């Protein structure tokens, strides 16, 4: 665990305490912990962050995203070029509340590639904190990888994407922080072996 993750764990504990504790002394302590953790995290990051990292009045949990492997007849997979940084990722995104992971995967593919897809298989569930640069891992994240198939569509992608293109492991472009080579490799192995992988 990095120092940044340790501080964020303390921040999450203070959030839980403020929500569920009824003891006035404990509430004062949890409030102080929240303020201290906010001050501490802003001392170790390059840019000041929001005061309340867990704005929803819920028990803090990891964020969840999805990624989809869409293969062509040559075994290459479709990637999207992010408008924000010019780097590439597999189609996907954050899971929205009240949408299933599968539905999120379908909607994200349509938005980012312009294609309607069918989701055929769960390939893996990975603990993204293992694959992200230290300073990008303040909020813990799980990612769900799916195997999908293009049904139809016109490659009319959203403003968040500037290009879609097929790649193989041997000719990977510069990857966005949203995915890593090892995750993609593990997902491809899941297709080959016929079993799901997970952390």
Residue 95: CB atoms within 10 Å: 20
Tens digits of residue pLDDT in 118-172:
999 999 999 998 988 766 667 789 999 999 999 999 988 888 999 999 999 999 9
Residue 54: the pLDDT is 65
Residue 50: the pLDDT is 61
pTM, entire model: 0.79
Mean pLDDT score, 110-115: 96
Largest interatomic CA distance in the chain: 64
pLDDT at 181 over 60: yes
- β-pairing, 115-127 with 197-198? parallel
Mean pLDDT score, 49-73: 81
Poorest-pLDDT segment among 36-45, 53-62, 108-117: 53-62
Q: Taking each helix axis as running N to C, give the angle between helix 3-20 and helix 24-44, from 0 to 180 degrees, rounded to the nearest 10.
A: 150
Mean pLDDT score, 171-198: 96
Burial of residue 7, with CB atoms counted within 10 A of its CB: 0-12 exposed, 13-18 middle, 19 or more buried: buried
> Which candidate, 47, 53, 80, places its Cα nearest to that of 179?
80
Tens digits of residue pLDDT in 1-46:
888 888 888 988 998 899 889 999 999 999 999 999 988 988 887 7
Residue 57: the pLDDT is 60
Helix (H, G, I), strand (E, B) or coil at 176: coil
Sign of torsion, CA 157 160 162 167? negative
Whether 150 contacts 69, CB under 8 Å: no
DSSP lists the bridge partners of residue 118 as: 149
Poorest-pLDDT segment among 10-19, 100-109, 167-176, 187-196: 10-19
Residue 135: the pLDDT is 61
Mean pLDDT score, 84-106: 93
């Amino acid at each position: 665990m990095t120092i940044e993750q340790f501080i964020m764990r303390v921040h999450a504990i203070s959030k839980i305490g403020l929500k569920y504790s009824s003891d006035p002394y404990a509430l004062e302590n949890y409030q102080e912990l929240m303020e201290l953790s906010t001050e501490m995290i802003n001392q170790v990051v390059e840019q000041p962050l929001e005061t309340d990292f867990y704005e929803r009045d819920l028990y803090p949990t990891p964020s969840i995203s999805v990624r989809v492997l869409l293969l062509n007849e040559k075994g290459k997979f479709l990637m999207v070029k992010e408008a924000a940084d010019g780097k590439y990722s597999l189609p996907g995104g954050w899971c929205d509340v009240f949408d299933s992971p599968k539905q999120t995967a379908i909607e994200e593919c349509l938005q980012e590639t312009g294609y309607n897809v069918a989701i055929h298989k769960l390939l893996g569930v990975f603990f993204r904190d293992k694959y992200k640069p230290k300073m990008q891992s303040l909020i813990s994240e799980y990612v769900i990888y799916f195997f999908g198939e293009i049904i139809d569509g016109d490659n009319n992608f959203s403003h968040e994407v500037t290009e879609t293109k097929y790649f193989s492991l041997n000719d990977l472009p510069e990857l966005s922080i949203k995915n890593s080579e090892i995750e993609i490799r593990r997902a491809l192995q899941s297709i080959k072996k016929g079993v799901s992988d997970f952390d």
